[in-house]
Structure 1
Amino acid sequence: MPLVLPPSVLGFYLLLAFSPQHGLGKWLHDVFDIQFVFSFNGLVLASFIYSMPFMTGPIKSALQQLPTSLAQASYTLGKTRWQTFKSVLVPNIKPSLLTAAVLTFAHTLGEFGVVLMIGGSIPNITRVASIAVYDSVEQMDYAAANSYSIILFAITFVLVTGVFIFNKHQAKSPLE
Structure 2
Amino acid sequence: MMLSEGDWLALSVSVQLALLTTVILIVICTPLAWWLARRRLPGQALLEAVLALPLVLPPSVLGFYLLIGLGPNGPGGWLANVVEQRSLAFTFTGLVVGSVVYSLPFVLQPLKNAFSAIDSKQLDMAAVTGAGPRDRFLSLVLPQCREGYVSAAILGFAHTLGEFGVVLMIGGSLSGQTRVASVALYEHVDAGDYVSAHRLAAVLLGLSLLLLWGLFRWQRGRSGPGAMP
Q: Give TM-score scaled by structure 2 length.
A: 0.68
Q: Deviations over 1:10-67 (max 9, x none)?
A: 1111111111233332x33345414421111211221111101111111111111222
2:212 maps to amino acid: V
Given candidates 60, 78, 89, the residue that maps to 2:112 is 60
Distance in 1 separating the partners of 2:62 and 2:130: 43
Unmatched 5+ stretches in structure 2 = 1-47
Map of 1:135 onto structure 2: 187
1:91 correspondence with 2:126: no
1:20 correspondence with 2:72: yes
Do the aligned partners of residues 103 and 31 (structure 1) sit closer, same or farther apart at CA in structure 2, a change above 3 Å counting? Answer: closer
Q: Give 3-state SS (helix, strand or coil) of 1:57's partner.
A: helix
Q: Deviations over 1:121-166 (max 9, x none)?
A: 1112110111111111111211111111110111111111112222
The structure, 1 or 2, with the larger RCO (C-alpha pairs under 8 Å, 6+ apart) is 2
Q: How many pairs align?
A: 172
Map of 1:29 onto structure 2: 80
1:7 maps to amino acid: P
1:62 maps to amino acid: A
The Cα RMSD (Å) is 1.9
1:114 correspondence with 2:166: yes
Q: Give 3-state SS (helix, strand or coil) of 2:76's partner.
A: helix
Q: Give TM-score scaled by structure 1 length.
A: 0.87
1:150 maps to amino acid: A
Do the aligned partners of residues 166 and 31 (structure 1) sit closer, same or farther apart at CA in structure 2, a change above 3 Å counting? Answer: closer
Q: Percent identity?
A: 40
